[in-house]
Structure 1
């Protein structure tokens, strides 16, 4: 058993609807995903994050769940899921899945029963009011929903929905709802998943606080952690917790709450640093961020399936990032974020894209990769809201991009065709055999990072190397050291490694060939958007 496997891991996030269609119906499915697991493992990933595959109307990418215990028939069935787990285990991939218990679909049998009968036990599975009233929560999508209350004609009451009106909030203050959640967790843990990415955690805690104000409702996280640990000790709870960093410790709960937090604070400052070509915002964010508890961990990413939410930045900094990376109104979402993939954000510049990956992978924490980023997929801004970054995986240049044999009108989402990011130019097959491709170099970064355990398991310090454009970090674990330097600017630079911060440094990975580290002057050269990961020579063996 590896109780800390998640601390030296690389997670690959997959939307099964959009990854690979095995039966030609236009929808990706679990069998299709199973057929492509070797791609995920070959990239260097050790864990698969599977986005929702449950029975759903798919009005919100499957997060509008109809049945937490069933696979949507368009994606397969439970035997298909078990087969995926077996193949994943065979090739060394763990699997985590989404736990969506802040809300359900309005088509869920619980909600339909609740609407029909005020005396039904399911009525209190949701949050109702005779009149809308002020709450501590606001609409998640303020440009789409102007209130968290919607009138239901059949129920003759208002129901609350922090997300879309077709996603009524579950009432976790009701112990029966929590029992339902634990039944769902037990079911998937028994099948063999290695944990859950827990959706919308602060809103779950808000409902728990209604039941018992102890620990401001965060007793729920301890209860969830205990439940998981008793059934699968090495399983993890990865929390979607977009809150001020001063609250991070509350969600870790002294190591007895969430195992990992998605690190929105560091992610936001990473993009501020990229926008300025200046490592200082990220260095400052690292210094200010509280360390995780002994067995806790942060998770870092460049992009995922939602908008690039910039709420952890101040207004001026947020607008600066917006101007740099989303200059057109159509590129923005909800007044707070960017609805573009990484490659278009960075102008399609492969050097800069690789630098951004090297930067993210050098940060303390567990890296998370979104499907398609390894080949530089683009976005489809004609699609509404967050759907712009949710398009089929581009495997080849054939008519269906290797994703599906179905005609275009039957696809779950339109392919990106033509232009700089069309599947005819950007696809896995075109990059697989090229050692200089984005796919090859990204895979090399991921695999090398996993071999440098100091980055996942160690302590990290920011080094002052005399250049604001360069982020230099020292990572130490059990007497071994790794130093990472990344140049965020387009200009070639020279940096000086401080005395005592590594002697006899040699490159473990670099964007290109460089002269060796000069022990006398203690200087390192970096090309524009260059990166170097180094070890002291004596640490290369043993």
Structure 2
């Protein structure tokens, strides 16, 4: 068993623009994060993952970086960051930066030089190509819809952008780009940061020659993600980054790698690979999306048996070979209680159940800001209230296709990234205590009922439940390192499993739906008694583990079994 501090940690993700504003400009800032360090320490988390705070024109909320070694003025100054890092470390908290290595902003000095002329020394820092018969160089479709190519009048060529046209892709085949990025990463490590979440890292290598994607219908653009995702050269580049820079620091690294299963993930996180500590997988994020059509926007009912299959596969393949990063939501995903729970009838119960699941699997659990108080999705009536570039692009594209606006908004209410980006709800005062000014995006109107201040006062709140879960994980090593085994594999409502480490066994019983199914203890569980570590409902006779009992809607129970 290879023990590491980052395996035993709990991570709290902060989306800084929406966390806490201290100067009244409606935008969260670094001093707001510093002001809440004691709040996070009290919750029990170990690592704070901060979404990009670098200098940026903010076309994609900071993921378009114009200077990697400067702080966006709306967030504060480098002195503010240095103080935040110092204050976090003084409390035993670590800081993990969000780093975008695949692309920069089109306002980065490198790109400004690159587009200045074809013979500029920085031209090859990005991917430029001539068009074909007045059309883009190939038929690849951007993640934000439309072609990945943007035409540049001045040089009569196109540049590649897998995301927004304001986010040109770097050319990682250029050794000078690699050298510059390595130097930048080491600059932050010398400053004392404790790790990196590597955004879109699976895309830093593209298929040689940039060929067209398969296009049987002869569409102008196609989703050719396999031609720019998870290619072998990504691993070569990551191993070089690890050997030359990351290896020399005791840090935590997690990569964003869509489109892979656990076997492919081992190429990134295998303990003999020397690349990353863990990756975010997306398979469980696809269980409510129809294949084809508009991708994530075409929603279907999700199925518990499919979730069991996906999670079980990752748990089994990575055990003692790699490491999982476990999450329900983040800045790119809808709120978990609205998506996988019941935010109307059983918000508190289902939020606690979902938390129990993520904190009792093998892997490092990630909490997204507001998840610990059960924040919910937002349903703005007008597209004008949305700020997410992906959402706005989707809306405009569907309108052009003649899709009824009502149908478009239904999809947006379920899947827009802005569901997770509304301001943190601190109290019941105006604007939820997030700002004294006008917030950059509207606050969810349910903030008088759902806020931190109210949660802290209620000993039975979701917040206090999270705190107890985190404490249990620190107390019982089996929760961190125990081997996962699925029980009741075909049950459509109950997700039950054990975690075993030596002679210690943890039994987790979760009702994932709103019914009241009967739980029957499988015959392979021989113990007649178990200590109930946590439950999201009041329970009588806490030491008893009955072989048969009925679960309440979204009930969660975790037992430590005796031998």
Q: What is the TM-score when the length of structure 2 is the normalising length?
A: 0.80
Which residue number corresponds to residue 509 of structure 2? 485
TM superposition shift of 1:343: 3.7
Which residue number corresponds to residue 519 of structure 2? 495
TM superposition shift of 1:284: 1.9
TM superposition shift of 1:400: 3.3
Which residue number corresponds to residue 259 of structure 1? 277
TM superposition shift of 1:41: 2.1
TM superposition shift of 1:20: 1.3
Aligned residues: 491
TM superposition shift of 1:506: 1.6
- Counterparts of 1:491 and 1:38, CA distance in 2: 39
Find the residue that maps to 2:440 and give its secondary structure: coil
Comparing 251-260 with 388-397, greater Cα deviation is found at 251-260
Which residue number corresponds to residue 367 of structure 2? 369
- Counterparts of 2:96 and 2:138, CA distance in 1: 33
Find the residue that maps to 1:196 and give its secondary structure: strand
Which residue number corresponds to residue 257 of structure 2? 241
Which residue number corresponds to residue 389 of structure 1? 420
TM superposition shift of 1:178: 1.0
Which residue number corresponds to residue 92 of structure 1? 92
- Counterparts of 2:377 and 2:335, CA distance in 1: 6
Change in Cα spacing, 1:271 to 1:124, as seen in structure 2 (3 Å) is: closer
- Counterparts of 2:153 and 2:91, CA distance in 1: 52
Comparing 292-301 with 483-492, greater Cα deviation is found at 292-301
TM superposition shift of 1:269: 4.7
Q: Is the 8 A contact 1:376 1:438 kept in 2?
A: yes
1:298 aligns with 2:324: yes
Q: How does 1:165-204 map to 2 (within 5 A)?
A: 165-204=165-204
1:172-203 C-alpha deviation (Å, 9 max, x unpaired): 11111111111111011111111111111221
- Counterparts of 2:317 and 2:209, CA distance in 1: 26
TM superposition shift of 1:524: 4.8
- Counterparts of 2:32 and 2:461, CA distance in 1: 25
Which residue number corresponds to residue 64 of structure 1? 64
1:138 aligns with 2:136: no
TM superposition shift of 1:94: 1.3
Q: How does 1:297-376 map to 2 (within 5 A)?
A: 297-307=323-333, 340-345=334-339, 346-348=342-344, 349-350=346-347, 351-376=349-374
1:523 aligns with 2:548: yes
TM superposition shift of 1:82: 1.6
- Counterparts of 1:479 and 1:92, CA distance in 2: 32
- Which runs of 5 or more residues in structure 1 are unaligned? 308-339
- Counterparts of 2:526 and 2:35, CA distance in 1: 44
TM superposition shift of 1:225: 2.3
Which residue number corresponds to residue 226 of structure 1? 243
Change in Cα spacing, 1:276 to 1:169, as seen in structure 2 (3 Å) is: closer
- Counterparts of 1:270 and 1:485, CA distance in 2: 23
Change in Cα spacing, 1:207 to 1:74, as seen in structure 2 (3 Å) is: farther
- Counterparts of 1:71 and 1:395, CA distance in 2: 25
- Counterparts of 1:282 and 1:113, CA distance in 2: 48
Q: Is the 8 A contact 1:452 1:482 kept in 2?
A: no
